[in-house]
Copies of this chain bind each other. A is one copy, B any other.
Amino acid sequence: MSERVLVNQLKSLPAGPVEVSGWVETVRDQKKVQFVVLRDETGAVQLVNPATRPSAPSTDSGTDPEQDAAALALTETIGGLATGTFLTVRGELKHDERVKLGGVEIKVGELVIAAAANPETPIAADSSPDKRMDYRFIDLRQRRNNLIFRVQTTLEHAMRTYWVERDYIEVHSPKLMASPSESNAELFEVPYFEDKTAYLAQSPQFFKQMAQVAGFGKIFEIAPAFRADPSFTSRHATEFTSIDAEISWIDSHEDVARMQEELLHTAFQAVADKHGAEIQELFGVEVQVPALPFPRIPLAAAREIVAARGYDIPRTDGDLDPEGERQIAAHVAETFGHQFVFITDYHPEIRAFYHMRDEETGLTKSYDLLFNGVEITTGAQREHRVDVLIEQAKEKGLDPEHLDFYLDFFRFGAPPHGGFGMGLARVLMLLLGESSIREVTYLFRGPTRLAP
């Protein structure tokens, strides 16, 4: 392991012996010379080998026949390399400005195949999305796809660092629950011990609130969540990574919004610094670090703006629809030059029972956050007074007895608190200008997609 050099380090190394490992991207097997493009997790490099062919034996009388045999074998090996084969090459590094691929090449000395690929590669970059998903382990070798997950890594680490530096506690809430976490719809059931039934957590909602009641103050969690959602849109999955935070002693949802906008500002800055140029090159997208504060528009005003733009929202419940979200995003882009907007002051009828209501307006102390016209978050102050909570649950037609384990949290003291949940894949999709969360998910899960 100690000898291996990463491809992106070659440029700064002196000419001379070197060892690289990676997989075969292309082979160009010409009569006199063979070229292989070898890729590793950091880049691609050209390998070169002067071909030794059996039909043209050397006329040099001083040639070592063993060396000849080795040269013949190497030429044959390289000629037979299938795309995707993983190998290690020891050879001579040469700097040559004429080589387009990084200005260096390696003259092959020794070549060791780790595992040869089947000669037929089942997918190409332009295969159908479904076919590419069947062979996601090959699809992910593409530079763009590799970059997606390096961006994911940077984004998450910047967020966690933001929280850790501010004394947030990281929790791992259970995904197996005795009762539904949010609604009885779209719920996966798991047969459990002793004929019991467990449910997969649709969100960590109840458990991150539990941390507030436990006096944790400020917490975060990045973890899977599950929805038995039969829809096939570009924004839905049956399993997704949820980014959650919850904090105590807030005055309103505004305190949550302030934390979230700072968090996103910090995380986008980290992505722009580390991957901005490469994102521009491979996705044609300039990462914009969102200015603080993000614009805020009450829902009623947003609907008026959308109407004034000539779009008539067909929904009768007073909420925005996807086109309405795109319209308000266009307005915000034109007016504030901003990609984000908090929509606030939702009516209780279109929000969860646990959203706190403003005493004066009766509207919920909650928001949605839109990023380039797509909802990525719902945030809110939660109702922590158990009697009010029970009333609000009843209003929604929920039976407080079924919520008893949750209501119990608030019977032994509770602080005012709130938080948000944010879909990781949606943020990545919108950040990179991709058309579907499937492209930015390691292994997508949907109604008809469980493998690989």
Contact = CB atoms under 8 A, between A and B. Distances in A.
B23 A450 contact: no
B450 A176 contact: yes
Nearest to A230: B193
A355 B411 CA distance: 52
- Copies of this polypeptide in the complex: 2
For the side of the interface on A, what is the size category?
35 or more
A140 B170 contact: no
B40 A216 contact: no
B443 A207 contact: yes
A170 B189 contact: no
Interface in A143-185: 146, 149-150, 152-154, 156-157, 160-161, 164, 167-179
A379 to B, nearest CB: 15
Contacts of A354: none
Contact of A172 (B118, B161, B241): B241
Contact of A239 (B174, B228, B249): B174
A437 to B, nearest CB: 12
Contacts of A161: 157, 161
Interface string A398-430: 000000011011111111100000001000000
Contacts of A211: 140, 442
B413 A117 contact: yes
Contacts of A167: 41-42
Given A115-B385, A178-B451, A178-B452, 12 more contacts: A23-B415, A41-B215, A41-B216, A85-B413, A122-B412, A137-B412, A154-B164, A173-B443, A174-B239, A175-B226, A177-B451, A188-B190
